[in-house]
Amino acid sequence: MTPRQSGSQRRVVRAPDLRVRSTLAGEAQAASAEVERELTVPEDPAAAAFFDVDNTIVQGASIYHLARGMYQRGFFGPREMAGALGKQVWFRLHGAENAGHVADARTAALSVIAGHTVAELQSLADEVFDEGMAYRIWPGTRALAQLHLDRGERVWLVTAAPIEIAEVIARRLGLTGAMGTVAEHVDGVYTGRLVGDLLHGEAKAVAVRSLVEDEGLDVTRCSAYSDSFNDLPLLGLVGHPCAVNPDRRLRRHAEQQGWPVRDYRVGRRAARLGVAAAGATGAVAVAAGALAARRRGS
């Protein structure tokens, strides 16, 4: 199935409720004030900050937001989307990565984009950010990144998400740049294979070490932020690690090591469970629709 032409169907994008946007704005201001009060480090040109994306910068998993946008444009059908939604609900409920889900998403994404152009996916990533990610940026983490920028430090995203979506997030937030998983392409067309492997776990630390050397940074003066125990190689590399919205294992490790922990989910458990429940309902609806379609076609 090929994606629908952009002009062939009018899409309606529902903006976040005004109260939601107001709440986010207020949280951003409060978080910014908290950060500026508690985190005062002199400007240092040899310092930089590295941020994970999923559940650190963005609520949920960015690749599933991308999958939703691809589904809406006809890249794949309801059955595949039902699986993606189910994994997103799991992520929102547990607040942690599942290696099997990540691998499945990688395989599915590569098969879907094979034969499509880089320009096509880059354009889609921009649209996906506007439609489903912009209002899911954690205000507190955004304030942390801005503080590093205000001190004259460079800020990079380091994520297993596709580089196309990582670059959009970095650009929209005014960050220095991004490192992400790279899909192979020849003459601007995706082959369905990766260049190397996912930028995940130890691979993140390898990428940051290389960047530190290329940019002349002092790794002991650098900072890193993540929610996942899988990112211990990156967090342990820098002089100033910080756990943000941490999973259980990372929280325990951070507390043992005396690392700062910032959890912007505190006080929102009921709200998060409500969103997850709504997502679960949506996944069931999509799955039911896919089953009905198959029955009609039989």
Q: Torsion over CA of 254, 217, 144 and 181, rounded to 10 degrees?
A: -80
Query: Tokens representing 41?
Result: 């480090």
| Burial classification of residue 248, based on how many CB atoms lie within 10 Å of its CB (0-12 exposed, 13-18 middle, 19 or more buried) | exposed
91 contacts 55 by C-beta, under 8 angstroms:
yes
Q: Is 52 a catalytic residue?
A: yes
Beta bridge partners of 155: 49
67 contacts 84 by C-beta, under 8 angstroms:
yes
CA distances from 223 to 49, 218, 254, 279, 283 (A): 5, 10, 14, 34, 37
Catalytic pick among 44, 52, 104, 214 = 52
Q: Using alpha carbons only, what angle is made at residue 44 by residues 42 and 47, rounded to the nearest 5 degrees?
A: 120
222 contacts 239 by C-beta, under 8 angstroms:
yes
Catalytic pick among 44, 54, 197, 218 = 54
Q: Is 263 a catalytic residue?
A: no
92 contacts 272 by C-beta, under 8 angstroms:
yes
User: What does DSSP say about strands 48-51 and 240-244: parallel, antiparallel, or unpaired?
Assistant: unpaired
| Burial classification of residue 187, based on how many CB atoms lie within 10 Å of its CB (0-12 exposed, 13-18 middle, 19 or more buried) | exposed
The residues that are catalytic are 52, 54
